[in-house]
Chains A and B, each alone.
Chain A
Amino acid sequence: MNRSTVIPFGPQHPVLPEPLHIKFVVEDETVVQAVPQLGFVHRGLESLVRTKDFNQMVFVVERICGICSCIHANCYCNAIEDMLGVTAPPRAQFLRVIWSELHRIHSHLLWLGLFADAFGFESVFHQFWRIREHVMDICEATAGNRVILSINVVGGVRRDLNLDQINWMLGELDKIENGMRELTRTMLDDYTVQERTRGIGVLSKDDARLLGAVGPTLRGSGWECDERMHGYAAYKELNFVPVVEHDGDCYARCKVRFNETLHAIELVREALNRLPESELTVKLPGNPDGESVFRVEQPRGELFYYVRANGSKMLERMRVRTPTFANIPPLLAMLPGCKLPDVPVIVLSIDPCISCTER
């Protein structure tokens, strides 16, 4: 007997805290087709450019996604700065990198925990989230808020780090790194974890490019493609190397994120040690005019901003293409053919951020 059944996944689902809704057409235990249903988080915030001026919009774009808010603001500020023809001072560039990478660490730790939870390894979930609290402490102590930092402004940053804070942060980073290294055996080398993730949700190298995958999903399939290579902010002065894996399965994506966390810790450490002395902001020459695009690397992949301004305080149009938006077509290609119990693992392996996707 081979009848097909439709099984809805979400919008309220224990594995994923976010309202993603996918309809699975299933034959016995095998998924044959997946149809996503979006719009549960659609806030229409691109239309807010009409009512808020370009400085206020920084705080709106930060609230596109609470997990990588600092990086959203970084990208937006860079796009506007390009239009105005100003560059943030060197110290501000380094501080942007520090807070962005802290967000990357906390986002990856969060994901590693949720991913472990998706295949039922709840104690590792708690371990990763315990380590993550160190990052949240750093954020709270340096920026004043645990999640949404609001440190970026057009033309620079709002807060500085003093020597005491830098020394304390270096100590906390050591704790995070030690915690991560301890968990390598439990997470990456573990037999059960490999059994649940290896060979599941394979995305071939050609498919990854053709379907427009970005971030760890693209790098897990063997593409050396990371926006940080292009050297925005202070990345051009830091020793950055993209993390690449070649298998294209869930395990490869997990490994990319795990190693990227360690690399991000290195980057923060390097940036803290080489923090140059300068002003924090530059004076803006007026209102932006023209069009510009900018791309940065988010924890989930490449983030793209298109901004159009007409010389007044209000922008004319802003468009945001977030990484999960690009990663949903690859997800739809990975799902058919998999077994139903693997669905949560595969869905989580692209690190879906629905609030980013739908804005």
Chain B
Amino acid sequence: MRVAEYIKCNRLYFDGGMGTMLQKAGLETGGLPEVYNIEHPDVVLDIHREYVKAGADVITANTFQASELKISSSGYTVEEIITAGVDLAKKSGAKYTAIDIGPLGQLMEPMGTMTFDEAYDVFKRQIVAGYKAGADIVLLETMSDLLEVKAAVLAVRENTDLPVFVTMTFQDDGRTFVGCDPKSAAITLSGLKVDALGVNCSLGPVELMSVIDELIKYSRVPVMVQPNAGLPSIENGNTVYTITADEFSDCMVKIAESGAAILGGCCGTTPEFISKMKRKTVDVPFILPEYERVTAVSSGTNTVIMDNGISVIGERINPTGKKKLKEKLREQDFGYLVGEALQQQKAGADILDVNCGLPEIDEAKTLANAVKEIQAAVNTPLQLDSSDRTAIEAGIRKYNGKPIINSVNGKQESMDDVFPIAQKYGAVVIGLCLDEGGIPETAEGRYKIAERIVKEAEKYDIPKEDIIIDCLVLTASAQQSLVIETINAIKLVKSRLGVKTVLGVSNVSFGLPARPILNSVFLSASFGAGLDSAIINPMSEEVMQSVRAFKVINNQDRDAVEYIENYSGYKTVSGSVNKNEGSGDVKAADVSGGDLKSMIIDGRKELVGTKTREMLKNTDPVSIIDGEFIPALDVVGERYEKGTVFLPQLIQSAEAVKSGFEVIKETMPKNSSGSDGSGKGKIVLATVEGDIHDIGKNIVRMLLENYGYDVIDLGKDVPIDKVVEAAVSNNVKLVGLSALMTTTVKNMKDTITALRSAGSNAKVVVGGAVLNEEYVEFVGADYYGRDARATVKVANEIFNNA
């Protein structure tokens, strides 16, 4: 029987630890265990055979770190090591053999340097080698990062027909090293349709109980458990494990009873552990527990269960009608999107909609990059919003977790496009109640479409809890009599279909005054009809008031904690409503006396914006920049050079100028290049390939921008050709490069060499902790930028702005 069928009705037993046994057999610390497959095959085979004798159904090949990243130094290829390893596992006489794949040992972008596609390729090579060697199962184990796992699972699915089992490693705080919790793992991996999911390593069976319970509760597939032999502890400078085979096997009985279907051991376990575990659990009746049928979306570290109450989906990352966002998308500057995401999260959004649809840009590429940057900054799950199926697929492929897809509709073509993507990657899908005939006028008509969408989804094995219906809002100023039909449709969809619902409310008030009033009342009415989630602007206080109030009414905000936190200082002031006293805005009167220069010198960020706005009434922007900003920064810069102020004070003044610039940018008409019009010159900045320390470079960027330069910031770990391309295509006169490690100074040199040979005439200024004047010559640069201030001086010299 194939293993995928076998586990549906039988408990499956894996083997136990390999590393500790190899060390007993002579493997030196830090040595590559996988080399034993070729150099000491008998040792490996003996261990496998002992586990078969102990009762293991599956033997895990000795291939844990046989990736090209880890074994390149061994003198053997990935294929040689894996083929030998799988052969030994098969030779042991086991019922099934698994190719074993551990984490790559590199963090994924943007926290680390590993790209999704690189991870995919590395895994693919291992997986294909194991497949060709005849393994029955791909086991991905000791995993921390769901995104890395996703790359591996897709590599299995797209290159083999093998079943894939995934176990994650949770620490004593109930999370993996990168912050993944069991709920998010169970929901995301179930969505990816792995064949089994679970937990291994790090902790013993006792400590893992709560993690296992959580996995069983939310997993749609069998749960696998391979604990260590208790907690590791350091004794005499060596790691030892603390429980006996008897204690271990007793705990495993409880774990089997709770519904774990696949059992085995990890570090510190031996054939004795497996043998005792099997003997004691073999008579425990086999059950596959019912999982919770909830509508859940996850990021890599956080899950929102929509059955627990109403959810807010933040709508602000959508370029429609937003000039600044459009501009940032065109420039591929994702820092702004990240800022919007952080703000919405802080304001109370549970989920964030991300839409990058602009006709003049590559939407698929942009959405994928936006997803990458935003998901590294916030922990709210994302909702991928596009009408283009390629964009949806590009985004979801690199999404860490289980997202919402926005959206599908009742047209057959739309469902044919979107459902296969949701099926493959796992997603909750928003279904819009419209079809070829448009939006039906009646609630009954919209319900019919919702029903069709849910039925069609079933064909793809997408259960109804993974569908959210949007009954669609019509505009009160145009079709007033139909507005109530939306509310009626929500009731029908909830009662007859039992699926979740969502609405984007702001359409209702289009063309009418005081839109927030209408929006929030309509939202309240919809919540009353059973609406589960709303796509709204969480920065809009009126709308959030309705949300927070309703959360008290439906008993979601227990003890009204959130409500009290937000409104304890609530006051109604002469017709206008204020959330709390003392907001950050400073009244113009407060700053009229002071002068802008000293505000900047003193780093009074909160005053500078207001003062700049006031001055703009009768001063042109260029005069403010040249007559106030820059002279003030020069004063602080000189003090910094003399050592009378230190870096935080320089940054403080720079932040102050930044807030002044933001006011200028808001009020100034854009010129064609999208710059703020100060036009001091264009500079490319990058932290070189291989280097990811970039806070220094970011401080330099801020100060350069303060002086009116257009900075094209390529970020960190920037490939050489990207620097060259940016410098040449923008024809810049100055390139700034930073490196913080002796190991990456070479990449700096190579980048500069490549710039020169590409014919760029740009001057190059370099900086970073390990650099000094002498390095300037070594790397072939023109200037040394010791700090942000020095770099500004270099720029001023080159652009004659001194």
Whether A associates with B in a native complex is: no
